[in-house]
Amino acid sequence: MRSRRVFNYGAGPAMLPAAIMQQAREEFLDWHGTGMSVVEMSHRGTAFMSIAEQAEADLRTLLGVPSDYCVLFLQGGATSQFGMVPLNLAPGGASADYLCTGHWSAKAAQEAQRLCKVNLVCGAGDQPLRAVPPPHSWQRSAGAAYLYYTENETIGGIEFHSVPDAGGTPLVCDMTSSLLSHPLDVSRFGIIFASAQKNFGPSGLVLVIARRDLLGRAPKNMPSLLDYAVHDKNGSMLNTPPTFSWYMAGLAFRWIAAEGGLGEMERRALSRSGLIYSCIDAGDFYRNPVDPAFRSRMNVPFTIADDSLHDKFLDEARAEGLVDLKGHRAVGGLRASLYNGMPQEGAEVLVQFMQEFQRRHG
């Protein structure tokens, strides 16, 4: 039991559903009568293999992953994918197109520049974007090995609400902060990746969903762990995988299905974030700069018109058990992250606090 209820609005690692936290605690010392903990069992034994296979099967069902896609459970976080994507998909001097809509897509493009030719399709300027630039303005290159984008930018709070049209070019998407928060047509993508610690588990795990025909071209003068085809061939067990994070991701997949699936996750995300945006838009006290058509359902960055009130806001919120509302250090201000594990009540009490704070200081 928690000593007192805290709502954590940090950008991740983030709150997980109370039900799966409780379950993980209950079976922490003895998983299903095996007499051992998940953290103590061989990754190649029948117990963990059943956990691993069930997790993959549940994820495939949730997302409707087509059979010609592999699902990999890897280490290294999304940052590892910033390097693996160009190494595997654009080897030997090939080029790739990057849609830059904020901090994380810019970071991915920067990392890719070490490894392949990078063309910035949009967002090459210094100013933070308020919207995804319209497709007619995109500067795509001929022969790009893939078109890359970040579905949700956690710092700027900009989210794609539809899948861009890549033509025949394989589409690669960083869904670290949005995977499993809405229904998805996986067949539109070449590669999707997402680290777990936002919407479906503890840190230490990154999920990669890849169309198999794109794999197998990684150069041989690279560490073998960077080759998707090697991981696919070894069932993500070329070496010992992050077993506890894999297990907890599996609990999250089952929880999502039991709660109603991805449609229900999207309904909840719209409801939670909608409450906060409505509160912000109701007056001039709070501000969010993003074009409503591209506002993130996962991360709501906002400021107070009188920015000298930010520290007071954080202090008073913390005193009420509303924690980690500080904006990313790159942009300052405030931010409420509202992933799958955040209950509706968390959005409600935050709005209540925001309204009271405004009454006291507005």
Residues 292-351 that bind its own copies (CB under 8 A): 321, 323-324, 341
From the list 31, 58, 97, 104, the catalytic residue is: 104
Nearest distance, CB of residue 240 and its own copies, angstroms: 5
Q: Cα–Cα distance between 280 and 37 in angstroms, integer?
A: 46
Catalytic status, residue 104: yes
Helix 344-361, helix 310-319: angle, nearest 10: 130
User: Considering only residues 22, 50, 61, 139, which one is a binding residue for its own copies as defined by CB under 8 A?
Assistant: 22
In 3D space, the residue among 179, 223, 185 whose CA is nearest the CA of residue 76 turns out to be: 223
Token digits of residue 181 = 């928060």
**Interacting stretch for its own copies, rule CB under 8 A, among 7-15, 127-135, 260-268, 286-294?**
7-15
Cβ atoms within 10 Å, residue 249: 25
**Phi, psi at 11, each rounded to 5°:** -80, -5
Q: How far is the CB of 142 from its own copies (least distance, A)?
A: 24
Q: The tokens of 154 are what?
A: 């956690």
Tell me the C-alpha to C-alpha distance, in Å, between residue 136 and each of 122, 130, 170, 292: 11, 17, 19, 20
> Which residues between 172 and 201 bind its own copies (CB under 8 A)?
195, 197, 201
Residue 138 bears catalytic tag:
no
248 binds its own copies (CB under 8 A): yes
Please select the residue that binds its own copies; options are 126, 223, 292, 315, rule is CB under 8 A. 223
* 255 in active site: no
Alpha-helical segments (H) within the chain: 18-26, 46-63, 77-89, 103-112, 228-233, 243-259, 262-281, 310-319, 344-361
Q: Determine the 3-state secondary structure of 292 from DSSP.
A: helix
Q: Quick check: 83 binds its own copies (CB under 8 A)?
A: yes
Site for its own copies in 85-104 (CB under 8 A): 87
Contact with its own copies (CB under 8 A) among 34, 54, 119, 271: 34
Catalytic residue among 31, 58, 97, 174: 174
When asked if residue 123 is in the footprint of its own copies (CB under 8 A), the reply is: no
Q: Which residue's CB is nearer to its own copies, number 156 or number 201?
A: 201
Chosen residue from 50, 224, 278, 344 binding its own copies by CB under 8 A: 224
Residue 274, interface with its own copies (CB under 8 A)? no
Minimum distance, C-beta of residue 220 to its own copies, in the bound complex (Å): 6
* 228 Cβ contact list (under 8 Å, min separation 6): 70, 72, 84, 88, 208, 210, 215, 218
* Binding span for its own copies by CB under 8 A among 121-129, 180-188, 224-232, 265-273: 224-232
DSSP calls for 163-182: ----TTSPEEEE-TTTTTSS
Task: List the catalytic residues.
Answer: 104, 174, 198
